[in-house]
Chain A
Amino acid sequence: MYRTAVVFMGTALALSVHAWDALPATPPIPADNPMTPEKIELGKQLFFDPRFSSTGTVSCNTCHNLMLGGDDNRPVSMGVHGLTGPRNAPTVWNSAFHASQFWDGRAASLEEQAKGPVVAAVEMGMADLDKAIGRVRAIPGYRAAFARVFGGEQPVTVDNAAKAVAAFERTLITADSPYDRWAKGDAGAMTPQQIRGLSRFDQLGCTGCHQPPTFAGPHKPRGHFAVFPFHDGPYVEQFQLRQDKGRQAVTGREADHHKYKIPTLRNVALTAPYFHNGRVETLDQAVRVMAAVQLNERLPDADVADIVAFLQALSGEFPALTLPRLPPMVGAALPTE
């Protein structure tokens, strides 16, 4: 004798295990770096300007190519003098949503990140940031632009340059992917195979780390680092997945051995090759590797195909970009090293 309860109860339960949210139109904007059109334009100039590399040949866009998926499609990037680094260039598109930057999360913000490659020997190769900002300061058009954007007695500073680049990067959002349109209610935006793939992707546990809407790690103060590879198996050797210490090299903590920031999967179909060392060339191979080394699953071909189809639905609409006109040197040569 169990009588049915008649009720109301005002509090709604919000928990949904499957919250398929669309990507927000704007990322979080730090209070100390508000967005202005002039600052964004200045950041864009700096982003495309190769003159702050030691050889005058490498800009941010060299490795984070905005005409493509925001990376260079190389296993590891090539900087000045043909030098190469240890890691694959992450996409800059949607990087504004990340709680930290670099594969090992060593930069807490885009502002902090922007200062790194300029002085990395195998990237832009400048001896130090003072020399780099000296080159900016030597260009009259930049002096005027920094003064307009930041004001103050000496507006051309490393921090301000980084702020401008970061502000520009916060505009590099690719919303309206087929997934986003589907998430907003357009049931036909993804194909049946893509929807199958999304469901399999979720059910396998991939969303445990690659969480919508960014399909990156959760935006937590504690960060979002995961051990990769977690399981042993032939792929680990085949693709040399344990050569790199990951975050441990930054923190020195044993617990951070082989830990990496969980990268976004937005535009992942455009950013081959894959993983921190860029050793895996195709998306379907990357899916097999992830399933095996993270989830201990051997996926049937049909599942791989479905998941790859879904991942293609994360390729967004790229905003139209015009190439910036860079302020000229005015009768002076670049002091290359």
Chain B
Amino acid sequence: MSRKSSFMLVLGLVAGLATTLMVSASAETPPEAANSAAAPAPFHPSNLAIAGHRKLTAEDFEEPKACGKCHQRQIKGWQGSMHSLSFKDPVLQAEWALAYKATDGKALNDCGGCHTPIGIATGTVKFDSSLGKHGGFTAPAQAAHGVSCDVCHSVSGSTASRSPLGQPGNASIELNPGETKYGPLKDAKSGYHETQYSELHTKAEFCGNCHNIFHSENQFPIEHTYDEWKASPYAQAGIPCQDCHMVPVEVAIQVADRMVRAKDVPNHGLGGLAAKGAKKEREIVHDHGFVGGNGVIAAAMGVPGAEEHKAEAIKRLQSAADLDMDVKKGQGGVNELRVKVTNLRAGHHLPTSLTFIRRLWLDVTISDDKGRVLLRSGELDSHNRVDADTVIFGNHSVDKKGNSTVNPWEIARFDELNTIPPKGFRYGKYAFHLPADAKGFKVVARLNYQSYDQHVADHLLGEKAVIVPTVEMKALTRSYDASLKVAAR
């Protein structure tokens, strides 16, 4: 699939933040009718809410370092994670600033509801036009930590049923900060804070509250990671997001290959204490790095934990997909190569989230036994981009008039869909001629990934401010003889 690139790019909710919950309405949440016109969301257009409609200040929330004193394993993973950078990430800041200016400020809550729930809930986020290339935002320390410990663990309920579509997304969480911390353990005991079991924290819906993003006016699902999961074999097997993204990649691979819960992976080695001085050994203590495919930002910002996060992100990418290929005779003497890309281990599409900005593509070279290049596709040019004929897996976004755009606030629909569903596959197809004097040929196929298109980075951050790294997720080389049979190695 080829795509024209647009110039105003930008993405909206960068790597996805995460979390939240949803349970069927907490005790504090009155059962209100969905779509109640009488009670608009307090931080519209985000679906964020505060339990008891309290007024909150930033000081109502703990800073991560306080939590990390006892929850040392958790903070180690969180530090340098995309959750920890969801507000500070310069890509997000620039994108959000553009959105803010283009929407007369409406995008403040729209993006901020997930990127800094504390900042939005406390009304402390301020736009500053002097920051960055396009402006940026400031917030008190607690809010600037993005999706921090006390965001997710203050989530007392979901507002999904009250959202415009009645689904998780756009920060459909209810925050209730204070003495009580909400989490997945039924018998948690802490000397420091009170604890409340939250079934929501054990479910994919919790993550879906931010990893599902709808346009706030036309309700188009701009990002639908949660919905992708919901329609996947993983959902059918009862494997939630947490079982892959809150465990080391080695365990996540086992989860995907066996299609079992993380706790059922033999010898997963994840048991231990959930906090310093805790009373009880737990079967699994979850990682809080929430590693996905973005190893760029933390490393670029040089934050603590960045290198570990980057290494883990690369491992994730390199274990997500598989390649295969076949060649057959086509019509009119043309040979047809099909490269099959299988989504082996992601519980959502490849790519997911900002499917119109991520770059997942095939780099294919066919050369004959004399060294002549017969076909070349997907090569990065001097601008760190691939050309329009490249096989790219992603979606193409357009505005309501059908014009290309990657600005989330302008997107009305996707006019081309080409992501790879969980356990599913797509083909890249190529045609080539074999010279009469060739005795054979070799195909080298690479599946490559960039977290975002270089044009987007340039637009948001300035020319060459960042060279978007390319991760080779998978490579396959195969030699054929002139009769298109696989040659012995």
Question: Which residues of A are at the interface with B, using a C-beta cutoff of 8 A?
Answer: 1-11, 13-17, 19, 202, 204-205, 207-209, 211, 218, 220-223, 226-228, 230-231, 255, 294-297
Known interface pairs A205-B69, A221-B60, A222-B179; A2-B90 also in contact (CB < 8 Å): no
The 30 sampled A-B contact pairs (Cβ below 8 Å) are: A1-B471, A3-B469, A4-B469, A5-B300, A6-B464, A6-B466, A8-B465, A8-B466, A9-B301, A9-B461, A10-B90, A10-B132, A11-B301, A13-B84, A14-B144, A15-B65, A15-B145, A16-B65, A17-B65, A17-B79, A208-B69, A208-B70, A209-B69, A209-B192, A222-B179, A227-B191, A294-B191, A295-B276, A295-B277, A296-B277
CA distance A11 to B179 in the complex (A): 31
Across the interface, which residues of A come within 8 angstroms of B72, CB to CB?
205
State how many angstroms separate the Cβ of B418 from the closest Cβ of chain A.
23
8 Å CB interface, B438-486 against A: 448, 461, 464-472
- CB-defined contacts of B472 to chain A, threshold 8 Å: 1-2
> Which residues of chain B from 346 to 368 have a CB within 8 Å of any chain A CB?
none
Are B66's CB and A211's CB within 8 A?
yes
Question: How far, in Å, is A298 (CB) from chain B's closest CB?
Answer: 12
Chain A residues whose CB sits within 8 angstroms of the CB of B301 once the complex forms: 7, 9, 11, 13
Number of residues in B with C-beta < 8 Å to the partner?
A: 56
Of residues B65, B84, B468, B472, which shows the largest number of chain A Cβ atoms within 10 Å of its Cβ? B65
For the complex, give the distance between the alpha carbons of A294 and B190 in Å: 10
Contacts of A207 in B (CB 8 A): 69
Query: Apart from A13-B301, A16-B304, A255-B179, what are 6 other A-B pairs with CB-CB below 8 Å?
Result: A5-B469, A6-B466, A7-B465, A11-B90, A15-B304, A228-B191
Bound CA–CA A224/B132 (angstroms): 38
A3–B467 touching, CB < 8 Å? yes
1/0 per residue B51-70: CB within 8 Å of A? 00000010110111110111
- B65 engages A9 (CB within 8 Å): no
Rounded to whole angstroms, the CA-CA distance of A226 and B179 in the bound complex is: 11
Task: Give the interface SS of chain A, mostly helix, strand, loop or mixed.
Answer: loop
B303 at the interface (CB under 8 A from A): yes
User: Is B303 within 8 A of A13, CB to CB?
Assistant: yes
Q: Which 8 residue pairs are nearest across A and B when measured between Cβ atoms?
A: A208-B69, A205-B276, A295-B277, A230-B191, A7-B300, A227-B191, A13-B303, A208-B70
A2 touches B93 (CB 8 A): no
Q: A230 vs B141: C-alpha distance in the bound complex, in angstroms?
A: 31
Q: How far is the CA of A10 from the CA of B85 in the complex (A)?
A: 13
Chain B residues near A8 (CB, 8 Å)? 461, 465-466
Q: Are A11 and B466 in contact (CB under 8 A)?
A: no
Cα–Cα distance between A16 and B64 once the two chains are bound (Å): 9
Complex Cα spacing A1 to B136, Å:
33
A233 CB → nearest B CB, Å = 12
User: Shortest Cβ distance from A264 into chain B, in angstroms?
Assistant: 16
A16, closest chain B residue (CB): B65
Min CB distance, A276 to chain B, in Å?
Answer: 14
Which residue of chain B lies nearest to A3 when distances are taken between CB atoms in the complex? B469
Closest A-chain residue to B91, C-beta based? A9
Collect the chain A residues with CB atoms within 8 Å of residue B85's CB: 13
